[in-house]
Amino acid sequence: MKDFRYLEGVTTLELKEEKCVGCGVCETVCPHGVFRLENKKAVIADSDGCMECGSCALNCPASAIQVTPGVGCAAYIIQTWVKGKEAAACGGEGTGC
């Protein structure tokens, strides 16, 4: 996705390298190549590529990754403002993503 870059310096993604066990699952599940393994440790190679889907944090066996996951969808965010997080659905009337 080098052709598509979104806003810089916004991601909530954090990696605690001292906790990393070097399994590489984050590198596997990330759809944007945010992580890279270097000397058997994960490093964040492209933090601005992160879309905060949360797949890395959910699958990290060492809880070394933290991110506030969510969907980058304006219609959904408007609903969370209006109706609150619980009632929000994707798009108007269940459409959208």
Partner 1 sequence: MKENSCCEAETGTSPSGIQIQPALPQNTEDEVCCGPPAGPPSSPFERPGYQICGFVENFIESTSGRIPRIKSALSISDMAGTVMTRIGINRNNYRVAPGLYGIGNPDPDSPVLVTANYKLSFDKVRKELKYTDAWLLVLDTRGINVWCAAGKGTFGTEEVVRSVKAAGLDTVVSHRNLILPQLGATGVSARQVKKECGFQVVWGPILAADIGKFLDSGMKADQTMRRVTFTTMERLVLIPVEISIGLKPMLWIVLVVFILSGIGPDLFSLKAAWTRSLMAAAALAGGVFAGAVLTPAFLPKIPGRAFYIKGAITGFLTAAGILLWYRQDAGLLELSALLLFTMAVSSFMAMNFTGATPFTSPTGVEKEMRRAIPMQIAAVFLAVFAWIGAGF
38 touching partner 1, by CB under 8 A: no
d(CA 8, CA 60): 24
Question: Which are the contacts of 2, defined by CB distance < 8 A and separation ≥ 6?
Answer: none
* Binding region for partner 1 (CB under 8 A) out of 14-22, 24-32, 38-46: 24-32
* Binding region for partner 1 (CB under 8 A) out of 14-22, 36-44, 72-80: 72-80
> Please, where are the H alpha helices in 1-97?
25-29, 55-59, 74-83
Q: Which residues make up the interface to partner 1 (CB under 8 A)? A: 1, 3-8, 10-12, 25, 28-33, 49-55, 58-59, 61, 68-78, 90-97
